[in-house]
Amino acid sequence: MSQTTAAIPAECSPELSVIVPMFNERDNLGLLCERVRQVLAPQQIRYELIFVDDGSSDDSVAVAWGLAERYPWVRVLALVRNFGKEAAMLAGYDHVRGAAVVVLDADLQQPPELLLEMLTLWRQGYDIINAVRVDTKGLSRPRKLASTLFYWINNHLTGTRIPAQSADFGLLDASVVASLRACREVHRFNRALVAWTGSSRAQVTYTAAPRNAGQTHWNGRKLLKYAMDGILSFSVRPLRLVGLAGVALSVISFAYLLLVAVLRIVRPELAGVGHGYASIIGMISLLGGFQLTSIWLLGEYIGRIYEQVKGRPLYLLKELNSSSFEPGIRRRTMAVENSHRVHRSQEREQPHFSQAAASSRVQGQAEDRQARP
Ligand code: UDP
Ligand code: MG
pLDDT of residue 333: 38
Amino acid at 134: V
Please name the residue whose Cα sits nearest to atom 11 of ligand 1.
Answer: 22
| Burial degree of 81 (CB within 10 A; 0-12, 13-18, 19+) | exposed
Q: How many residues does the chain have?
A: 373
pLDDT of residue 279: 76
Give ligand 1 pocket residues (Cβ under 6 A).
21-23, 25, 54, 82, 84-85, 88, 105-107, 109, 216-218
Q: How far is CA 238 from each of CA 28, 284, 324, 340, 351, rounded to the nearest angstrom?
A: 40, 23, 47, 29, 47
pLDDT of residue 336: 41
pLDDT of residue 370: 61
Q: How far apart are CA 84 and CA 224, in angstroms?
A: 15
Please name the residue whose Cα sits nearest to atom 3 of ligand 1.
Answer: 85
pLDDT of residue 218: 84
- What do you get for the CA distance between the two ends of the chain, in Å? 34
Bridge-based pairing of strands 100-103 and 166-173 is antiparallel
pLDDT of residue 325: 42
Mark the ranges of the chain whose per-residue pLDDT is less than 70.
1-12, 271-275, 322-373
pLDDT of residue 371: 66
pLDDT of residue 65: 93
The pTM of this model reads 0.82
CATH architecture designation of domain 15-219+313-356 = Alpha-Beta Complex (3.90)
SS3 162: coil
